[in-house]
Amino acid sequence: MDTEKMIHLFKLAEKAAEKSYSPYSHFPVGAALLMEDGTIFTGTNIENRSFGLTNCAERSATFAAASAGYRRFVAIAISTPKSDYPVGPCGACRQVLSEFAEPNTPVWFGCNEATIEKTTLGQLYPFDSLHELAENLPQ
């Protein structure tokens, strides 16, 4: 994935964070998810006073893409504009992303462009056996 595309994706994640509904944590998060055909889905965190019902930005974007029929994601950028340091996706988001993306999928996250961490889904989620399991299921 070239740097220019990933910076564009990160800027879209920053824009998505502006739409966050985070009245409890005051911690907006935005995500931008790139599909194989170039389509981009964005999402933001949506909180609920019953915190367990809160949905993360990464999952919001993933569910929007999957609901539109997309099943192959090729990159994601995540913006946490009010954090003091780059904050990567939580474990639940890593699990959901691994359902639709390969381990080599680029994952960029940061508070702003100067703090972006560049990694892959496989580096964030190194012991994902689900892809191996899926390959061995009867068709």
25-41: burial string, b at 16+ Cβ within 10 Å, e else = eeebbbbbbbbeeeebb
Active-site position among 14, 36, 58, 132:
58
As a whole number of angstroms, the distance between CA 104 and CA 90 comes to 18
Q: Is 58 annotated as catalytic?
A: yes
Cβ–Cβ under 8 Å, residues 28 and 44: yes
Tokens standing for residue 93: 């988001």
**Mean local confidence (pLDDT), 75-95:** 95
Q: Structure pTM? A: 0.91
Cβ–Cβ under 8 Å, residues 128 and 99: no
pLDDT in tens, 5-63: 999 999 999 999 999 999 999 999 999 999 999 999 999 999 999 988 999 999 999 99
As a whole number of angstroms, the distance between CA 74 and CA 117 comes to 17
